[in-house]
Amino acid sequence: MASVRDSQAFRLNLVGIVALSLFVALFARLYSLQVLHEEQFQAAAVSNTNRTLSTEAPRGRILDSEGRILVDNKSTLVVFVDNFVLADQLNSRQEREQLALRLATSLSDNGVLTKVSSILRELEDAKYGPFDKIPVASGVTEEFKVWLKERDFQFPGVEIETESIRFYPYGAAASHVLGYIGPINQDELELRATSAKAYQPADEIGKAGVEAAFEEVLRGVPGSQEIIVDARNQIVGYGDILSPQPGSDVQLTIDIDLQIEVEEELKSQLEARRLVREDNKLTGDNSFFVAPAGAAVVLNPNGSQILAMASYPAYDQREFIGGISAAQFDALTNEDAHAPLSNRAIQGLYAPGSTFKPFTAFAAMNSGLMSDRGALTQYSELFDPGFFTLPGCDGGKCEFQNAQRTEYGLVDLRRALTVSSDVYFYRLAWFFEISPSVRSTALQDGVRAFGFGRRTGVPLAYEVAGLVPDEDLKAARHEDLPEVFTEGNWFAGDTLNTAIGQGDMGVTPLQLANAYATLANGGTLYSPNIAKTAIDPATREIEIDYQPRALGEIYLPPEIRDPLIDGLAGVTTQEDGTGFFAFETYPQDLLAVAGKTGTSEKFGKQDFALFAGFGPVENPEYVIVMVLEEAGFGSESAAPGVRNIFEALATNSIPISEPLDLDYLNAPVIVGIKAPGDELALNEEPPS
Q: Over the stretch 263-278, which tens digit does the pLDDT of each residue have? A: 999 999 999 999 998 8
Torsion angle in degrees (nearest 10) through CA of 302, 307, 312, 317:
140
Domains 52-252 and 256-333+341-650 share a fold: no
Contact 72, 64 (CB under 8 A): no
What does the pLDDT look like over 127-166, one tens digit per residue? 777 777 788 777 778 888 888 887 877 888 888 877 778 9
586 in helix, strand or coil? coil
* Torsion of Cα atoms, 204 then 210 then 216 then 222, to 10°: -40
E strands, 601-687, where? 608-615, 622-628
520 backbone dihedrals φ, ψ, rounded to 5°: -70, -40
Residue 7 has a pLDDT of 65
> What is the Cα–Cα distance from 361 to 559, expressed in whole angstroms?
12
The helix-helix angle for 256-273 and 638-650 (nearest 10°) equals: 150
Domain ranges of the chain: 52-252, 256-333+341-650
The DSSP H or E segment spanning 8 is helix 2-31
Least confident of 19-33, 80-94, 365-379, 613-627: 19-33
Q: Quote the pLDDT of residue 671.
A: 35
Average pLDDT of the segment spanning 407-423 = 97
pLDDT bucket at 394, cuts 50 / 70 / 90:
confident
Q: How many CB atoms lie within 10 A of CB 191?
A: 13
406 CB-contact burial (10 Å; exposed 0-12 / middle 13-18 / buried 19+): middle
The answer to whether 629 and 292 have CB atoms below 8 angstroms apart is yes
Between 265 and 202, residue with greater pLDDT:
265
Q: How far apart are CA 308 and CA 649, in angstroms?
A: 13
Q: Yes or no: say if 121 and 134 are a contact pair by the CB < 8 Å rule.
A: no
On the question of a cis peptide bond just before residue 616, with omega within 30 degrees of 0, the verdict is yes
* Single-letter residue type at 203: D
Q: What's the pLDDT at 326?
A: 78
Q: What is the pLDDT of residue 385?
A: 97
Q: How confident is the model at residue 612, as a pLDDT?
A: 98
Gyration radius (Cα) of the chain, Å: 34
Is 443 within 8 Å of 432 (Cβ atoms)?
Answer: yes
* Structure confidence at residue 173 as a pLDDT band (50, 70, 90): very high
CA–CA distance, 356 with 507 (Å, rounded to integer): 10
Q: What is the pTM of this model?
A: 0.84
* 52-252 carries CATH number 3.90.1310.10: yes
142-149 helix and 93-109 helix, angle to the nearest 10 degrees: 140
Mean of the per-residue pLDDT values of the chain = 86
Q: What per-residue confidence (pLDDT) applies to 668? A: 41
Distance CA 280, CA 284 (A): 5
Could you tell me which CATH class the domain 256-333+341-650 is placed in?
Answer: alpha beta
How many angstroms separate the CA atoms of 317 and 42, rounded?
50
Determine the pLDDT at residue 684: 37
d(CA 83, CA 157): 7
Which residue type, as a one-letter code, is found at position 124?
E
